[in-house]
Chains A and B, each alone.
Chain A
Amino acid sequence: MESSATTLPETQIMKREPLVTNQRSMAWITDKVSGIVEGKTPSWWWIATLITGAIAVLVPIFITYLVSTGVGVWGNNNPIMWAWDITNFVFWIGIGHAGTLISAILYLTRQKWRTSINRSAEAMTIFAVLCAALFPVFHVGRVWFAWWLFPVPNANGIWQNFKSPLLWDVFAVSTYFTVSLLFWYTGLVPDLATLRDRAKSRFKQIIYGIFALGWRGSNRQWRHYEKAYLILAGISTPLVLSVHSVVSFDFATSVIPGWHTTIFPPYFVAGAIFGGFAMVLTLLLPARAIFKLHDLITQKHIDNMCKIILLTGTIVGYAYSMEFFIAWYSGNEFEKFTFMNRALGPYWWAYWTMISCNVLSPQLFWFKFCRTNPFVIFFVINCVNAGMWFERFVIIVTSLHRDFLPSSWGYFKPTHVDILTFIGTIGLFVFLFLLFIRVLPMIAVFEVKSILPEADPHYHGEKKG
């Protein structure tokens, strides 16, 4: 490859944009990323952590209230038996998916730009899945019997219904959480060793040392490590696709018009990636500005993520229109009614918020100006964050609120417990992320080093000329 490149005249070679700009050295990268953890705690961090921590406290407060009083404190009632809780569950679990997509699918497809963003995206996955799991666990009602979901014998001699998508969810989400955590930790080990070797205080040396497992960067270890990482990426890829497919089965296997469709699994997966990338950018754009990470999270990274948001947003838009088409094409009265009711019924506002946030706003990313302006990006991704929540709300609530019998039609009103628990999970999510950036390297140091030009063993200095 080198020889063919040299024979071409200089003008014909398209220069690939470097993934680490300003020709930063390895030591610079180590210093920069470790510096975020090692430096003095900035005052904005205390303020942000205290505020989000205070918001996060809403979760235990209202969960305690719910457990001690009953699930009735949520606004769910006939005919809308699933409302905000499942909306929030699907919303959070979807956000998690971008992390796995970045860490696993982009790894398998050898997208080197993933290295600057995968660590924080994986952390985001774990925190999002934690927030997600909260809702179905407490929605079961008598949460102290939640262990009945697992195939352990109980005194009544009743076993799990393995044909239920809700039980599939238990396996899918718990597997997803466990594998994501293992994947994340495996990626962290060499960087924990970096922090261990740089630590000044004995306490930090011991803590980071314990979690670094005594990693010493030996090639005999890297050999197995890389293989293990590849396998984890290989199994995470079908896993992430399966998890959101299983989540969509919760709806698709029922006979409710608006839910009973085969388009759901791919549609949910695209939506999850879409919403997840928006959340990755929501967290990384401020972090990049605050910690001055512009050489590591470059314009190219942001550009790539915007393009993925544009692509998946358009897929989601296609799915919305296809749902409508199939509802009409099926000739099924109930199906047709449900979709007309979605767009023009009492929940028209939710539907059109969803369309404008998820389908229209990402179209701005066709223009390079919009992909380079942080304010436009921030606006669009927050539209997407909101839009993806509305998408789940639309799917869940509008399909339920007018079922086959007009006598049982209803309109869902969230209670303050619904609202504050959800706000609490947002606080919890940001709070956990803030803790993460203070104690762990938010960029995968060793992986970024490995994509530098000088990481190539056949690199012999910059060619002058």
Chain B
Amino acid sequence: MDKIYGLGAEFKSASELYHAAEKVRDKGFIRWDAHSPFPIHGMDQAMGLGRSRLSFWSLMGGAVGLTVAFLMIFLISDEGAIATWIGKFTNQNYPLVVQGKPYFAVEPSVPIFFELTILITAFGTIAALLVMNLLPRWHHPVFNWDRFAKVTDDKFFIVIESRDPKFDEAETKQFLEGLGAECVALIRDE
């Protein structure tokens, strides 16, 4: 199997990567990525990426959490649906009267509304993070390039995939070398 995944270029500093990314973006590549040991401020613009939409799923998580909390307390506290329904099977249902207060009220439920909202927001955020980043993905062609291990240390990389319509092995290689890369290499897929 000699399938080519793409071309990788190694840079030695965040600013070099940043300026190289701007040029790759301006050249019109789509299927490419910049890799760095830490998030670089302004890199999204340099790559021409918009804002992350992950927060939408956090909001959804929060909405689900609040709804679940409300329904849970509401349906359980009163002689509500759940309690009555389960009571049918167990022949027992004892709604708790506490200090003569109503079965359900919003005020004492606020802490639980709040905590469950936070909890499900966190779940939504993490789930969205994994899905949007397509993680976990333990194998990836970029790992076939031995120098790439330094991405978690102090090296910076740009990888242009061969799937990109503008990709041309010789020409793209020359282009990447022209960006000041320390090393340009072909990355194989297996």
Pair from one complex: yes
Known contacts: A213-B136, A218-B33. The answer to whether A228 contacts B125 by CB under 8 A is yes
Interface size class of B (residues with CB under 8 A): 35 or more
A26 at the B interface (CB under 8 A): yes
Q: Is the CB of A219 within 8 A of B44?
A: yes
Q: Is the CB of B96 within 8 A of A218?
A: no
Tell me which residues from 211 to 248 in chain A have a Cβ below 8 Å from any Cβ of chain B.
213-228, 231-232, 235, 238-239, 242, 246
Per-residue B-contact encoding for A169-191, CB less than 8 Å = 1, 0 else: 00110010011001100100010
CA A444 – CA B36 in complex, angstroms?
15
Q: Is the CB of B92 within 8 A of A30?
A: no
Q: Is the CB of A227 within 8 A of B15?
A: no
The contact of B140 among A179, A216, A456, by CB within 8 Å, is A216
CA A446 – CA B151 in complex, angstroms?
11
Q: Is the CB of A157 within 8 A of B129?
A: no
Q: Is the CB of B135 within 8 A of A213?
A: yes
Q: Which of A15-23, A148-156, A303-311, A419-427 contacts B (4 or more CB under 8 A)?
A: A148-156
Q: Is the CB of A457 within 8 A of B118?
A: no
Q: Is the CB of B86 within 8 A of A224?
A: no
Nearest-Cβ distance from residue A387 to partner chain B, whole angstroms: 28
Question: Which residues of chain B come closer than 8 Å to A198, judged between CB atoms?
Answer: 149, 152-153
Q: Is the CB of A159 within 8 A of B95?
A: yes
CA A25 – CA B153 in complex, angstroms?
10
Per-residue A-contact encoding for B118-144, CB less than 8 Å = 1, 0 else: 110111011011101101111110110
B41 at the A interface (CB under 8 A): yes
Number of residues in A with C-beta < 8 Å to the partner? 70
Q: Is the CB of B43 within 8 A of A450?
A: no
Closest to A27 in B: B154
Q: Is the CB of A153 within 8 A of B86?
A: yes
Q: Is the CB of A219 within 8 A of B122?
A: no
Question: Which residues of chain A come closer than 8 Å to B140, judged between CB atoms?
Answer: 214, 216
Interface centre among B73, B125, B128 (most CB of A within 10 A): B125
Q: Is the CB of B125 within 8 A of A242?
A: no
Question: Which residues of chain A come closer than 8 Å to B128, judged between CB atoms?
Answer: 224, 228
CA A247 – CA B149 in complex, angstroms?
46
Q: Is the CB of B125 within 8 A of A25?
A: no
Per-residue A-contact encoding for B18-57, CB less than 8 Å = 1, 0 else: 1101000000000001111111111110110101101100
CA A449 – CA B36 in complex, angstroms?
11
Q: Is the CB of B35 within 8 A of A218?
A: yes
Closest to B130 in A: A213
Known contacts: A225-B133, A235-B121. The answer to whether A168 contacts B111 by CB under 8 A is yes
CA A452 – CA B118 in complex, angstroms?
33
Known contacts: A217-B151, A222-B36. The answer to whether A163 contacts B118 by CB under 8 A is no
Q: Is the CB of A159 within 8 A of B96?
A: yes
Q: Is the CB of A209 within 8 A of B38?
A: no
Q: Is the CB of B54 within 8 A of A457?
A: no
The contact of B93 among A27, A157, A179, by CB within 8 Å, is A157
Q: Is the CB of A157 within 8 A of B154?
A: no
Q: Is the CB of B17 within 8 A of A457?
A: yes
Known contacts: A194-B152, A213-B138, A457-B18. The answer to whether A226 contacts B39 by CB under 8 A is yes
Known contacts: A160-B76, A178-B119, A179-B119. The answer to whether A190 contacts B38 by CB under 8 A is yes
Question: Which residues of chain B come closer than 8 Å to A26, judged between CB atoms?
Answer: 37, 153-154
Known contacts: A223-B44, A224-B132. The answer to whether A158 contacts B14 by CB under 8 A is no
Q: Is the CB of B38 within 8 A of A214?
A: no
CA A167 – CA B140 in complex, angstroms?
46
Q: Is the CB of B42 within 8 A of A457?
A: yes
Question: Which residues of chain A come closer than 8 Å to B90, judged between CB atoms?
Answer: 153, 155, 157
Q: Is the CB of A217 within 8 A of B76?
A: no
Question: Which residues of chain B come closer than 8 Å to A165, judged between CB atoms?
Answer: 111
B114 at the A interface (CB under 8 A): yes
Question: Which residues of chain A come closer than 8 Å to B165, judged between CB atoms?
Answer: none
B63 at the A interface (CB under 8 A): no
A44 at the B interface (CB under 8 A): no
Question: Which residues of chain A come closer than 8 Å to B125, judged between CB atoms?
Answer: 228, 231-232, 235
The contact of B43 among A157, A219, A449, by CB within 8 Å, is A219
Known contacts: A159-B76, A171-B111, A214-B137. The answer to whether A238 contacts B118 by CB under 8 A is yes
CA A196 – CA B108 in complex, angstroms?
48
Q: Is the CB of A156 within 8 A of B112?
A: no
Residues of A with Cβ closer than 8 Å to B? 25-27, 30, 151, 153, 155-165, 167-168, 171-172, 175, 178-179, 182-183, 186, 190, 193-194, 196-198, 209-210, 213-228, 231-232, 235, 238-239, 242, 246, 249, 446-447, 449-450, 454-460
Other A-B pairs, 17, CB within 8 Å; known A186-B129, A227-B54, A456-B41: A26-B37, A30-B37, A159-B96, A172-B115, A190-B37, A214-B140, A218-B35, A219-B44, A220-B33, A223-B52, A224-B129, A228-B126, A228-B128, A239-B118, A242-B115, A449-B37, A455-B41
Q: Could you list 23 A-B pairs, sorted by A, with CB under 8 Å?
A: A26-B154, A30-B153, A30-B154, A153-B82, A156-B94, A160-B76, A162-B76, A162-B108, A163-B108, A179-B122, A190-B152, A215-B152, A216-B143, A219-B35, A221-B133, A223-B49, A231-B125, A235-B58, A239-B115, A246-B115, A450-B39, A450-B40, A457-B15
